[in-house]
Amino acid sequence: MSVGAVSVLRLVLRRELTLSFRRPGQLLQPLVFFLIVTTLFPLGLSPQLSLLRDMAPGVLWAAALLASLLSMDGLFKGDSEDGTLEQLVLSGQSLTLIVIAKTLAHWLVSGAALVVVSPIVATTLAVPVEAFPIMMLSLGLGTLTLSWLGAIGAGLTVGLRRGSVLLSLIVLPLAMPLLIFGANATDRAIGGESAAGALYFLAALCVFTTTLAPIAASVALRITLE
Amino acid sequence: MWTWFYRLASPPSVYRVAGVFAPWLLLSAAVFIVYGIIDGLAFAPPDYQQGDAFRIIYVHAPAGWLSMFAYTLMAIAGAVGLIWRIKMGHAVAAAVAPVGASFTVLGLVTGSLWGRPMWGTYWAWDPRLTSELILLFLYVGVISLRAAFEDPNRGDRAAALLAIVGVVNVPIIHYSVQWWNSLHQGATVAKFAKPSMPGSMLWPLLAMFMGYMLFFFGVLCMRVCAEILNRERQASWVREVVRA
């Protein structure tokens, strides 16, 4: 039975989201991790609000990158262990499409969720409310880009025993431009300046990875599953 | 034409050619490096601003340049292996990676030794230093990804894909790091203007570039030979070579 591209996307997306919401504990873990990591900094440095505001962009961004990488490991793992992934590869549908759907579903429950809770964390770091829209927009673009990069990494490490550390090792260097521009945009928003330049750059990176990363990730999966 | 190419890229012929080239490359590298070191360290005039400390450029600049060249070569060799399924591409990529990583470390170490007298600190978050550091991380990623697979075939292809993804990212990282620092503050470190270098300083530097290049390819040939022997250890021609 042949299925159109749109319905492949829709079916895989729905399956992934259903599976995620059946395990709400796993869904919450990266968010709690995000909260805990950001708590470490005031405790470790100083609770002084002016200092916190200065470091807020870096802390928020580094914590967000780590939190969404943490869950990246599971992108293909579960499906690979129970054999679903092989069936998806053999289904005759474009693997790239399947990767797109899986990554988007993953981003919706990890990256987008991080964006939603980020104002809470930002408030504790003394980020002014006026900076929230820019911060959330930059985090949204950044975590989506990271999901695409992470999909390549997850595809490359899917069959490996200690894949999760290796995944961070290979994805984090690639993600450094995100940290630079994301933190810069947030920093400018806090200072009341225009963050357009950094946001455009984040958007460009997002479009770039959205175009190419699914192809690279599907090649990675074919290599590791073969 | 393709059969000719495939025959040339077969393990025994690559082994033979690399084995012949290696000693000549290393020998000529030694000539260039000895000249460059002596002329650069002893005879080139001291810099009017940096004094004798500038002489570390003769060790530092070629290492930094080769670190990027080696990464590109690794990605190209990996792509050749991945796309045309030429095994030797992967062997070359596997042989390049540790050499390139060593040059990156050399560039970072000599750079920070140079930074101490010039900037007053071993490490500054200067764009060039930072992107060199990230390059080292990329190397480490590729090397450990290859090592993580039990099946060498998969490890090769996975590492090749990662190297290609990395090479697409290198310019992005390079420019974003540059803009990141310029967004915060102007250049606080004295920039070395290369074209304004007099010939007496430039010749030993060019000789060092040449020497490093030849040394790199000489070591690469040796490593490729070792890599081939290890990979083809089941083949009959390898047994004959080893027995001889």
Q: How do residues B70-127 score in pLDDT, each as one tens digit?
A: 999 999 999 999 998 888 999 999 999 999 999 999 999 998 888 888 778 888 787 7
Supply the pLDDT for residue B138: 94
For residue A1, the distance in angstroms to the closest alpha carbon of chain B comes to 32
- Side-chain half-sphere of B188: how many Cα atoms within 13 Å? 11
Q: Which residues of A touch B138 (CB under 8 A)?
A: 173-174
Query: How many residue pairs bridge chain A and chain B with CB atoms within 8 Å of each other?
Result: 72
CA distances from A33 to A28, A67, A112, B126 (A): 9, 6, 15, 32
Across the interface, whether the CB atoms of A173 and B138 are under 8 A apart is answered yes
Are B143 and B100 in contact by the 8 Å Cβ rule? The answer is no
Sign of the CA dihedral with A56 first, then A61, A66, and A68 last = positive
Q: Which of B137, B145, B157 is nearest residue A173 as measured by Cβ atoms? A: B137
Of A206, A214, A213, A181, the closest CA to residue A196 belongs to A181
Across the interface, whether the CB atoms of A152 and B165 are under 8 A apart is answered yes
Number of domains, chain A: 1
Across the interface, whether the CB atoms of B141 and A170 are under 8 A apart is answered yes
Supply the pLDDT for residue B85: 86
Supply the pLDDT for residue B47: 76
Of A193, A178, A118, the closest CA to residue A148 belongs to A178
Q: Which residues of B touch A157 (CB under 8 A)?
A: 145, 148
List the single residue in A with minimal CA-CA distance to B175.
A177
Supply the pLDDT for residue B196: 55
Q: Residue B45 has what DSSP assignment?
A: P
Across the interface, whether the CB atoms of B145 and A173 are under 8 A apart is answered no
Give every residue of chain A whose pLDDT is below 50, as ranges: none
Across the interface, whether the CB atoms of A163 and B148 are under 8 A apart is answered yes
For residue B166, the distance in angstroms to the closest alpha carbon of chain A comes to 7
For residue A223, the distance in angstroms to the closest alpha carbon of chain B comes to 6
- Side-chain half-sphere of A205: how many Cα atoms within 13 Å? 34
Chain length of chain B? 244
Q: Which of B145, B154, B161 is nearest residue A166 as measured by Cβ atoms? A: B145
B148 touches chain A (CB under 8 A): yes
Give the amino acid at A103: T
CA A188/CA A67 separation, integer angstroms: 23
Supply the pLDDT for residue A88: 86
Give every residue of chain B whose pLDDT is below 50, as ranges: 183-195
Are B142 and B81 in contact by the 8 Å Cβ rule? The answer is no
B176 touches chain A (CB under 8 A): yes
Residue B47 dihedral angles phi and psi, to the nearest 5°: -70, 140
Across the interface, whether the CB atoms of A184 and B149 are under 8 A apart is answered no
Are A127 and A56 in contact by the 8 Å Cβ rule? The answer is yes
B1 touches chain A (CB under 8 A): no
CA B145/CA B93 separation, integer angstroms: 13
Element holding B43 (H helix, E strand):
none
Q: Which residues of B touch A176 (CB under 8 A)?
A: 134, 173, 176-177
Dihedral angle, C-alpha B96, B102, B104, B105, nearest 10 °: 160
Q: Which residues of B touch A167 (CB under 8 A)?
A: none
Across the interface, whether the CB atoms of B134 and A226 are under 8 A apart is answered no
Helix axes A49-72, A24-44, angle to 10 degrees: 150
Across the interface, whether the CB atoms of A180 and B176 are under 8 A apart is answered yes
Supply the pLDDT for residue B1: 63
Supply the pLDDT for residue B71: 95
> What is the residue range of A132's domain?
5-225
Name, in order, each residue with C-beta under 8 angstroms of A186's C-beta and a sequence gap of 6 or more.
Answer: A56, A57, A60, A61, A127, A131, A134, A135, A138, A195
List the single residue in A with minimal CA-CA distance to B156.
A223
Q: Which residues on chain A place their C-beta less than 8 Å from a C-beta of chain B?
A: 152, 156-157, 159-160, 162-163, 166, 169-170, 172-174, 176-177, 180-181, 184, 201, 205, 212, 216, 219-220, 223-224, 226
CA B34/CA B27 separation, integer angstroms: 11
Q: Tell me the Cα Rg of chain A.
A: 18
Of B175, B205, B178, the closest CA to residue B61 belongs to B205
Q: Say what the pTM is.
A: 0.89
B79 touches chain A (CB under 8 A): no
Supply the pLDDT for residue B194: 46
Domains and CATH numbers, chain B: 21-243 (1.20.120)
